[in-house]
A and B are shown apart, each in its own frame.
Chain A
Amino acid sequence: MNTSPTLTKSPPTNFTPLDNRSRELRQRIVRMMEAAGRAHLGSAFSVVEILRALYDEVLRYDPKNPRWPDRDRCILSKGHGCLALYVLLAEKGFFPEAELSKFCKRDGILGGHPEYGKVPGIEASTGSLGHGLSIGIGFALNAKYEKADYRVFVVVSDGECNEGSLWEAAMCASKHKLSNLIVLVDYNKQQSYSTTYEVLNLEPFADKWRAFGFAVQEIDGHSLEQLRIVLGRTPFHPEKPSIVICHTIKGKGVSFVENNLHWHHKNKITNEEIRALLAELEVK
């Protein structure tokens, strides 16, 4: 496991290559993008393995009973990465797969940001950054109060960590010793305008979280093996909330999308671009 405390200005170069399942999930994301003509593609591609690990192996849930009281709660606080979540939720049976082709359509339930009450499996409406962690704290406090053993996972983006409300929440989570709260940061080092270093530097990122009272682990966020190991060790400390800083690549999986901010939020997509995307994501 990569446990280096901080990262330099160059992202790691030895990221894990994608397996066929990760390629297929990305293909489905591209198909949704094709249907809607728009998407936060880079943001969705960078979070695929994080969500895949959670929904394939970690979370306790029942798609036929999305409000099952004992389920683990998972909030995609970086709501703009929702395409990666939608394809997984559909696959698991939270809603019919036919909804995927109605992404951003008037008669569909899946919008550019996930909505509570509209999409089964969505615990909170997100899209405006800096909300999810506080809501997750409410869930986690409720679990403590009810002596319930469900866990709360909150997936945040790095740009989201610009928000003051997120750090208010970080203080609050450690104050209450919320060991049932696990944050995963999709640290792809790119936000809308430029790199996180240039726009509003987060470093020393892991140290910040430690200073705010979290138990911190850092991993390659595209490595299912590392995700599996690290999530299997939660909570990292019996009296602290946990955070996994997942080093990722924005747009991971397609050469011309990776670290290319023109693909942060993309519209006016051509058929040629769709073909090129799918070609790079072919199953091997």
Chain B
Amino acid sequence: MRKTCLDMVYELAKKDSRIFFIGSDLGIGTLQHFKAEMPNRFFMEGVSEANIIGMAAGLALESKIVYVNTIAVFITRRCFEQVVIDLCLHNLKVRLIGNGGGLVYAPLGPTHEAIEDIAIFRTLPRMTIIAPADAAEIRRLMPLTVDYPGPIYIRLAKGGDPIVTNNRVRFEIGKAFPMREGQDALILTTGITLKIALDAAANLGEQGIETSVLHVPTIKPLDTVTILDYVAHIPVIVTIEEHTVIGGLGSAVAEIIAETGFNLPKRFKRISIPDVFPDEYGSQASLMAHYGLTANKVSSVIKQLL
């Protein structure tokens, strides 16, 4: 997913001289073809995220489109105020590409786990937040990021994640995508937990429980129309996300459900990382299992709610 994303930045930059790239201190060889072919638009500026965001803002104020890439925690936590003021207040076309959204960096511990990135960016006016599910979706997304207004945060997963999205569906920023239809329960998901949601829905289907799956890659702005359209006629609703229980997709969906009147009562549950700093290492998958981000857990929660 990460490789596809950066390859797309290169492809887009080749066609559009407004596109600049700024990295912090990325791995050796990152985008070396970009650097070789477009050296005036390639910058590697060191472990200085605050400066990088300001610099990107300056370029964007001069009508450039700037893709900034570093590890998700550093592009969200470290330079938060620069993102708020330099990017959102000025409403600039800077695209923040965060490597390792969620628990990808599990072996490296809490300093590197981006599990509240969505929550903190959701509070920012003008910010768009997108968590694609796989590399194929990244490929469809990236061309749309060039001229989309305002700043965008693109939350990347580990890479090598299974392809689960549908190439025939046209990607649209701000849209939720139905991935499976069923009347008994609804799973809303963002990012790579789409695979878990689809597996859970398949399991439930074998047990006679028909489950809809709504993939919500854009968490902000939220596609409330599509979400409420599904929620309206389904009694059991579950969200799953690789993110703290506070402030992410689950919160966003809960907020709109709570503010909408329904004829039928709703049963709702968020499946996410609890309000803790992960206290174990291991792999992304093992930590996700530890916190119940699995198809089995989703299935059992839905069965309890039914």
A68, CB-defined interface residue at 8 Å: no
* B50 contacts A135, C-beta separation under 8 Å: no
Q: Which chain A residues (92-143) contact chain B, with CB distance < 8 Å? A: 115-117, 123-125, 128, 130-142
CB distance from A76 to the nearest CB of B (A): 14
Q: Are B48 and A142 in contact (CB under 8 A)?
A: no
Which chain A positions have C-beta within 8 A of B62?
138-139, 142, 146
Cβ-closest chain B residue relative to A148 = B62
- Which of these, A116, A136, A144, A165, contacts B82 with CB under 8 Å? A165
Instruction: Report yes or no: B58 in contact with A131, Cβ–Cβ below 8 A.
Output: no
- In B1-57, the 8 Å CB interface with A consists of 40-41, 43, 45-46, 48, 50-57
Bound Cα distance from A124 to B53, whole angstroms = 14
The answer to the question of B60 belonging to the interface, with a C-beta cut-off of 8 Å to chain A, is yes
* A132 and B86 alpha carbons, distance in the complex (Å): 9
Whether A164 sits at the interface, judged by CB under 8 Å, is yes
CB-based contact A172/B45 at 8 Å: yes
Chain B residues within an 8 Å CB radius of A138: 54-62
**A18 close to B (CB within 8 Å):** no
Are A130 and B55 interface neighbours, CB within 8 A?
no
Pick the contact of B54 from A131, A140, A145, A171 — CB < 8 Å?
A131
For A131, what are the chain B residues with a Cβ–Cβ distance below 8 Å? 54, 82, 85-86
Nearest to A115 among chain B residues (CB) is B89
- Tell me the interface secondary structure of chain A in the complex: helix
Give Cα distance in the complex from A168 to B45, angstroms: 9
Q: Considering the complex, give the chain A residue whose CB is closest to the CB of B57.
A: A135
B180 lies within 8 A of chain A by Cβ: no
Also in contact, A134 and B40, with CB within 8 A (given A128-B81, A142-B64, A172-B45): no
For A134, list chain B residues within 8 Å (CB). 50-55, 57-58, 82, 86
CB of A48 closer than 8 Å to a CB of B: no
Q: Identify the closest chain B residue to A165 (Cβ).
A: B50
Q: How far is the CA of A140 from the CA of B58 in the complex (A)?
A: 8
Q: Is the interface of B mostly helix, strand, loop or mixed?
A: helix
Complex CA distance for A5 and B56, rounded to whole angstroms = 34
B90 in the interface (beta carbon within 8 A): yes
- Do residues A141 and B55 form an inter-chain contact, with CB atoms below 8 A? yes
Q: Is the CB of B58 within 8 A of A125?
A: no
Decide yes or no whether A169 CB sits under 8 A from chain B: yes
Q: Is the CB of A139 within 8 A of B82?
A: no
A137 pairs with B55, CB closer than 8 A: yes
Q: How far is the CA of A131 from the CA of B82 in the complex (A)?
A: 7
Instruction: Chain A residues near B90: list those with CB within 8 A.
Output: 116-117, 124-125
**Which of A116, A131, A140 has most B Cβ within 10 Å?**
A131
Q: How far is the CA of A138 from the CA of B86 in the complex (A)?
A: 12
Interface centre among A124, A136, A138, A141 (most CB of B within 10 A): A138
C-alpha spacing A65/B45, complex, angstroms? 34
A171-B54 Cα distance, complex, nearest whole Å: 14
What residues of chain B lie closer than 8 Å to A168, measured between beta carbons?
46, 48, 50-51
How far does the alpha carbon of A168 sit from the alpha carbon of B40 in the complex, in Å?
A: 21
Q: Are the CB atoms of B61 and A135 closer together than 8 Å?
A: yes
Nearest-Cβ distance from residue B64 to partner chain A, whole angstroms: 7
Contact yes or no, A125 B55, CB < 8 A: no
Given contacts A134-B53, A135-B86, A165-B82, contact A141 B58 (CB under 8 A): yes
Provide the residues of chain B in CB contact with A136, threshold 8 Å.
58
Beta-carbon nearest neighbor of A130 in chain B: B50
> Quick one: which of A116, A137, A146 has the most chain B CB within 10 A?
A137
Hey, which chain B residues are within 8 Å of A139, CB to CB? 58, 61-62
Chain B residues within 8 Å of A137, by CB: 51, 54-55, 58
Which A residues are CB-close (under 8 A) to B60? 138
| Closest A residue by C-beta to B17 | A145
- A21-45 contacts to B, CB under 8 A, are none
Q: A134-B50, A142-B58, A165-B48 are in contact. List 16 more A-B contacts (CB 8 A).
A: A115-B89, A116-B89, A125-B90, A128-B81, A134-B57, A137-B55, A138-B54, A138-B57, A138-B60, A139-B62, A141-B59, A165-B82, A168-B46, A168-B48, A172-B48, A172-B51
Q: List 19 A-B contacts (CB under 8 A).
A: A116-B61, A117-B91, A123-B61, A124-B90, A130-B50, A134-B52, A134-B53, A135-B86, A136-B58, A137-B54, A137-B55, A139-B61, A141-B55, A142-B64, A165-B50, A169-B55, A172-B48, A172-B55, A175-B45
Residues of B within 8 A of A (CB): 40-41, 43, 45-46, 48, 50-62, 64, 81-82, 85-86, 89-91
Q: Which 8 pairs of residues, A with B, have the shortest CB-CB distance? A: A138-B58, A134-B54, A168-B51, A165-B50, A168-B48, A142-B62, A135-B58, A138-B59
